[in-house]
Amino acid sequence: MSLRALFAAGLLACGSAHAALWGYVDAKGVAHFAAEAPDARYRLVLADRSDADAAPRVPGKADDPDSLLLRLQIDPGAKALTPWLREAAREQRVDAELLEAVIATESGFDASAVSPRGAIGLMQITADTADRYATARERRTPARQRLLDPRTNIRTGARVLADLIRRFGHIDLALAAWNAGEGTVRRYGGMPPIAETRAHVQMVLELYWALLQRTQARSAVRLQLR
């Protein structure tokens, strides 16, 4: 069952498509949903639409990292990307967890996402940027078509991110350049005083740290079993 279907089932169980939805995944991998949080295990998955801010919201930027982590645990589509994340991570020497954090924040793992600014796919990359980092073989295919392919999108995004980290020397500034542009970061001589950019960087870093902790915990368990 897809993540969207799980959410829909949870919302129906809660009685309203506009109600808040809380949930957690237990040790057996079973997803539990409720209209309110019965205990501390539950995290907010979907906010009550009636409580949403009137101002336009930047997708992903105001989400709770715990909520995004829960979605990653539930959504089989996110897990299906693991081989491509690892491949891109090996090729560009960036952590797969960082790539995953960017994808979760940028598109919520929606491979068909297109932003009002024309950013496309999982990592929300523009056609111009894709062409800049494309191989000669990749350029034979139109940028939009390439970016809608999950594997190509991830590999392209990994090249961009690795290059930004080399250019700016720090992950936080690389993420700021990813969001606001390289010129903006250079103009301010560091982190730009732009609310959306700072929220983006904070969200990605928090999720990146949480994913690293999850990976390390799994490795520790495997070591103990040996």
Mean residue pLDDT across the chain: 78
Q: Give me the pLDDT at residue 36, please.
A: 76
Contacts of 163 (CB under 8 A, 6+ apart): 133
Cα–chain center distance at 168: 22
Higher pLDDT residue, 106 or 33? 106
With cut-offs at 50, 70 and 90, classify the pLDDT of residue 122.
very high
Helix (H) or strand (E) holding 45: strand 43-46
55-225 classified as CATH 3.30.450.20: no
Q: What is the pLDDT of residues 155-185, one digit of tens each?
A: 999 999 999 999 999 999 999 999 999 999 9
Q: How confident is the model at residue 79 (pLDDT cuts 50, 70, 90)?
A: confident
Residues classed as catalytic: 106
Give me the phi and psi of 176, to 5 degrees please. Answer: -65, -40
- Cβ neighbors of 203 (< 8 A, separation 6 or more) are 60, 61, 63, 65, 105
Say which residues have a Cβ less than 8 Å from residue 156's Cβ, sequence separation at least 6.
123, 125, 129, 130, 133, 134, 138, 146, 147
Contact 173, 138 (CB under 8 A): no
Domain boundaries, the chain: 1-52, 55-225
Place of tokens 């897990």: 79
Please tell me the distance from the alpha carbon of residue 110 to that of residue 124, in angstroms, as a whole number: 10
- Residues of the chain with pLDDT > 70: what percent? 65
